């Protein structure tokens, strides 16, 4: 095959490594070749392990401390993993030290095996269950808050947002066609937004407290001359009780007591 060039420039720009970013990031995360005592404790796998240690018992008499991790040699080579449908991987062991009361003043040290990590091969891919797999960057899963709006068949716009933490469950907040706020945690069932608020803070455990947090409220004195005019058409935060007969003069709407929704259209 003959290649003919019609341009005047003969310099060829080399193609850069398109998986260099993923490969370098994965190698820095594992830091497998470094000695345990020289690893940086502020990044990578080393930083994750240091977040959980030391671990103490309920009575604080025994403490489990962490002193680095090491990788074991792979059990099978690349060709064997392809033929047998296995994952090309290395085991990881933690250097654990246990000290405290009840151990006869002895300190127990042991390498504890906790799992396996896949090994990246030459082209940046992995052998997982006998097949080659690559790392795919997923920008949409970065931590933060994502807002969106959709137009329903009726022409009404419904708004929603996703709260994506660095670690933990996703929170989906969305409005319904009836202007109600609903919250879904991961793949759980939808619940009212106020139910979620009640679970987060004790000061939002009652309906009046939630209404006062989101809406501007006013106090109406029953002894005032224009009290009746102010109360007409208003949404009551709490029931109005007659101080003499202890009978309710006016009550809060029934939907605030039963379904406990927050109207999303109110400001």
Per residue of the chain (267 residues), what is the pLDDT tens digit? 677 777 777 667 777 777 777 788 888 888 888 888 888 878 888 888 888 888 887 777 888 888 888 888 888 888 888 889 889 989 999 888 888 776 666 778 888 888 898 888 877 788 888 888 877 666 656 788 888 888 877 778 888 888 888 888 889 988 887 778 889 888 888 888 888 888 888 888 887 888 888 778 777 777 777 777 777 777 777 777 766 666 766 666 655 554 444 443 333
Domain locations along the chain: 20-133, 141-257
pLDDT in the model for residue 245: 65
pLDDT in the model for residue 204: 83
Query: Quick check: bond before 45 cis, omega within 30?
Result: no
Nearest to 235 by CA among 222, 216, 248: 216
pLDDT in the model for residue 263: 41
DSSP states along 29-84: HH-TTS-GGGS-TTSHHHHHHHHH-SEE-TTS-EEEEEEEEEEPPPSS-HHHHHHH
Supply φ then ψ for residue 258, to 5 degrees: -95, -70
């Amino acid at each position: 095959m003959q290649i003919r060039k019609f341009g005047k420039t003969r310099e060829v720009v080399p193609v850069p490594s398109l998986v260099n970013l993923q490969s370098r990031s994965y190698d820095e995360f594992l830091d497998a070749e470094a000695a345990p005592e020289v690893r940086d404790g502020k990044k990578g796998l080393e930083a994750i392990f240091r977040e959980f240690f030391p671990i103490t018992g309920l009575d604080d008499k025994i403490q489990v401390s962490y002193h680095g991790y090491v990788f074991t040699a792979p059990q099978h080579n690349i060709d064997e993993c392809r033929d047998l449908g296995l994952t090309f991987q290395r085991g990881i062991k933690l250097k654990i030290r246990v000290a405290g009361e009840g151990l006869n003043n002895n300190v127990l040290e042991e390498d504890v095996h906790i799992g396996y990590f896949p090994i990246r091969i030459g082209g940046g891919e992995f052998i997982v269950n006998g097949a080659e797999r690559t790392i795919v960057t997923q920008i949409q899963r970065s931590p933060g808050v994502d807002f969106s709006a959709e137009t329903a068949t009726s022409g009404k716009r419904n708004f929603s947002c996703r709260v994506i933490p660095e670690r933990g469950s996703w929170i989906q907040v969305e409005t319904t066609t009836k202007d109600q706020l609903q919250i879904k945690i991961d793949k759980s069932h939808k619940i009212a937004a106020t139910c979620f608020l009640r679970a987060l803070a004790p000061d939002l455990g009652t309906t009046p407290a939630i209404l006062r947090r989101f809406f501007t409220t006013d106090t109406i004195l029953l002894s005032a001359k224009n009290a009746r005019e102010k109360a007409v058409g208003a949404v009551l935060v709490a029931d109005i009780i007659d101080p003499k007969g202890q009978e309710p003069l006016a009550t809060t709407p029934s939907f605030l007591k039963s379904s406990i929704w927050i109207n999303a259209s109110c400001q």
